[in-house]
Each structure stands twice: as structure tokens, then as C-alpha cells.
Amino acid sequence: MQALDFQPDNRLQVAKRLIRDFVNERPRDRIGLTVFASRAFTQCPLTLDRSILEGFLDEVQIGLIEDGTAIGLGLATAVNRLRHSEAASRTVILLTDGSNNVPTMEPETAAELAQALGVRVYTIGVGKRGRVPFPRQGPFGTRTVMVEMPIDEDLLTRIAEMTGGRFWRAEDPEALAQVFAAIDELETSRYKTKVSTWYDEKVAWAAAPALALLLLEALLGAIWLRRLP
């Protein structure tokens, strides 16, 4: 996520800003944050407190975890947090700029787990195609080099299709913002459709926090940090 093709910042900083905007548009949703590279852990438990979440989000940085891109483990960690939820709609948003290279858990196995639990997975590949500028530390400071950073679009598409989600490729900040807007609209429409089937107003009103909890565990439930060795 250090690549400099998302000017004026790197990919990580742009993604964090857009995630912050997204969750602030959904104030009733409980939000959790799971981070992964070579391993995965919960950075922030589910919460309605935006100040707490934003504090944990601000702390996400390159090098927080050892090098690697464990898409399967990251997805499984996010999905597992939804295992015991009784909400009608459960969603994970998987955001990555790399290809799975940690064999701890195969991504397809994690997708099968999500499918079995009824968890929808939206997948987003972040970054331009081809060679991109990347900062590299050397004995005389930091220099920018052009590198290939392939994203496994076929894998991300399979994960989305297996779970009833969608895959997007975002090659610039504007495209990534449009992806989050599309997800916001999709999840809002699904919630409104579900609520319209209820006849008891109190029951319908109570459905919102449950759906929100799952949506946002997923949204921030999958930011993957990747850096070159």
C-alpha cells in the first residue's frame, strides 16, 4: 500500500481517508477493524464510537505486521467475527493491492466459510495496472523506483461470486470513492428492502443496527497492508 500512484498520497493514506468518509456516512453502524499482512488481527472491536474507531484507523501504517499478503487469513478473520451474529445481512469488504502469498489459509477456503455462513464479500483491487512508482529505502535515503505490483483479479472475482458480492478494480482515488459509494447504495437498498417486509414498526426499526453491524465489520473488517521487501 506504499505505492505512489494515488497522488497526492500513497494508496494506504487514500484508502484510510475514503474509509473514514464512508463510515461517517453511516452513523448508526457498528464498525470493527481487522488488519492483515502476513497474519491478521482485530485492530478495533465493533463500536458505534467514531472517535475510537478513527483513532485505531489512524494507527494503521505500513510495517504494522510482517511482510506478506494473507488474503485467505484476513478474510477468514473478518468472517469469523460474524459467525455468531443473527443479523439478516452480513457483509465483508475486502480491500487489497496484492496477491495472496501466505499459505496459512487458502482464500477459496475462506470464501467457502463466508458462503456457508451467508456472509457476502465485496472485493476491491486497489492500484494502477503496470509499473507504478514505489519508495525504496537505500543507504543514501529514499528513492522512487518503478515496480510491478500485480493484483489477482481472478481470485478476487471468484471470492465475490462465491459469496454473492461484487469485484471492483480501482485505479485512482476517484474510482475508489465511486466503489465505496456503490457499496453504500447497494447495502442501503438491501436494508430498505428487508425493512419493507416487516409489519411491526418496532421490529423493522430494530433491524437497522444488526445489518449495520455486519456491514461495517466487513467494511473495515478487511484492510490489508502490503509492502515490498
Q: What is the pLDDT of residues 102-160, one digit of tens each?
A: 888 899 999 999 999 998 899 999 988 989 887 788 788 888 888 888 889 999 999 99
**Confidence tier at 65 by pLDDT (50, 70, 90):** low
Q: Which of 27-41, 70-84, 101-115, 163-177 has the lowest mean pLDDT?
A: 27-41
pTM > 0.85: no
- Alpha carbons 145 and 3: distance in angstroms, whole number: 10
> pLDDT-based confidence at 202, cuts 50/70/90?
very low
Domain annotation covers residue 1: no
- Cα 126 to Cα 17: distance, rounded to the nearest angstrom: 14
User: CATH number, domain at 35?
Assistant: 3.40.50.410
Please check whether residue 207 lies inside any domain of the structure.
yes
**How many structural domains are present in the chain?**
1
Buried b (16+ CB within 10 A) or exposed e, 12-51: bbbbbebbbebbeebeebbbbbbbbbbebebbbebeeeee
For residue 160, being part of any structural domain is answered with yes
229 occurs within a structural domain: no
Q: Scanning the structure block, which residue is given the C-alpha cell 472517535?
A: 51
Classify residue 140: in a domain, yes or no.
yes
Please check whether residue 2 lies inside any domain of the structure: no
Whether residue 5 is contained in a domain is answered as no
The verdict on residue 6 lying in a domain is no
147, containing H or E segment: strand 141-148
> Which range of residues forms the domain containing residue 42?
11-224
